[in-house]
Amino acid sequence: MGKFNIQKQPNDILVDVAQKVRRLRRTNKWSQEELANRSGVSLGSLKRFESTGKISFIFLLKLANVFGRLEEFESLLVPKETSNLNQLFSDK
């Protein structure tokens, strides 16, 4: 790809997700400490996540669960339907 890539990179998505979690936390009027307690994620990990986007996947799932959004991860990396159709009509 060229120098001016408009596709988001992994770090961009990490930061976007962290901003969304921060917005959800603030919408619920929770402090970072309260969200940490509710989710079982350490306060340090939560602070790091909100500032850098870096977090373990299990902690991200715990945060999503607190907000009632865990089911959104169930569709992550599910094979696309078109690939299933391609398999039906392949020579193999």
* pLDDT of 1 over the 50 cut: no
Q: What is the mean pLDDT of the chain?
A: 89
What pLDDT was estimated at residue 33? 98
Domain range list for the chain: 10-88
pTM for the whole structure: 0.78
Homologous superfamily of 10-88 in CATH?
Answer: lambda repressor-like DNA-binding domains (1.10.260.40)
What pLDDT was estimated at residue 78? 86
What is the H or E stretch that residue 63 is in?
helix 57-66
Asked if residue 32 lies in contact with residue 18, where contact means CB atoms within 8 angstroms, the answer is no
pLDDT in tens, 29-45: 999 999 999 999 999 99
CA distance 20 to 75: 18
What pLDDT was estimated at residue 91? 59
* pLDDT of 46 over the 50 cut: yes
- HSE at residue 81, side-chain half, CA atoms within 13 A, is 0
